[in-house]
Structure 1
Amino acid sequence: MGRWEPGARERLVVAAVDLFTEQGYDATTVAQIAERAGVTKSTFFRHFPDKRELLVAGQETLSRLLSEGIAEAPADASPLESIAAGLERACSAMGPMSRELAPRLKAAVAASAELQERDALKSVSLAAAMTTALVARGISDPIAALAGELGVLAFKRGYAQWSEGDHDSNGELARYTLAALDELRAASASLG
């Protein structure tokens, strides 16, 4: 496969996840990832600053989509209704490749303290993006922060259920994340 063929970024992500699963994160080199993806090391570095960033390749896009969905929610939407709009928007970008890679990605993260740290930072970043979008809608900071944290928890729970579910079904990620958000809303009401 030529190094200029389209899809190099996606091929690099798939190659990295496969190698991390096969031989572990620490044992995998950038050269091995590039070779498996059919690109050069310089192509790798045009897309990613280091191998750790491969696992959060879509984080900026995800944050942007969450924020856009929240911003475009109806003016009278509650904070959690706005979060739901953000989740729906973000989930629309997650397709079959995301679902296919999810179990291997989960295993790679579970096996590496460095990747667990990066995954935690991703959650913080997503919560901050949602909080900022809610504050821009006029929601007070404490309420916006709580809603943003619930949004991240709903996304993670929904994503886990979606990725572990029947891959032959047409279940969309949004259905899972919105169900998780509803469960969290009900659970928070019982906190007293």
Structure 2
Amino acid sequence: TLPTFYGVTIGVRYSGIGGTRYSLLSGTNNNGDFVATNDLAYIFDRNNTGVPQNVRTGLQTILDNPEASQSLKDYITKYSGQIAQRNGGINDFFGIVDIRVAKKIKIYKSQTLEFSGDIFNFANLLNKKWGVNESLGSQSLYALNGKAEVKATATTPLIPAVPNYDASTQSFNYRVNNAGIVVPSGNPYQFQFGLRYGF
């Protein structure tokens, strides 16, 4: 709280957080523990011609996407050709500013009235892109890309099934998700007015 100026007090509070962590997940039960929501992703090397083209293209699409988080792009690049480190993704810093203005008026002897006004997340009032949380949670980088068999018709040939897991090559058939798109969260700016009677 700043000193009183003509009986008006102004307070400013700033709170911020940064460096929260998240993981890149495979999107499937790779290790056979019956849980598909915590297996770390292997980050395929998009420059390796032995990697399926759709996976290479999908990873490059994320890296080229201006809407994708730079944090996620750095995570993918750092662990290319290896298993992603758990909690290896690092979110950026963000913060909010709250402002309070109060005026106390003496009405009779020791009795007072205090009028106050608060603006929560003041920066968001100035610009809707400020004062928002743009952190990522854990991301499923891949999804299984298996397809069921399509029967032949009089005009189309049989399209064989594509398995989620190819036992002959001991590999999963993946597609790359559109990961890393930040959905801003947090509270928008808010006003609060108060009246306090003191005696």
Tell whether the structures are fold-level matches, with TM greater than 0.5.
no
**Structure with greater helix percent:** 1
Which structure shows the bigger proportion of residues in strand conformation?
2
TM-score by length of 2: 0.23
Structure number, greater radius of gyration: 2
TM-score by length of 1: 0.24
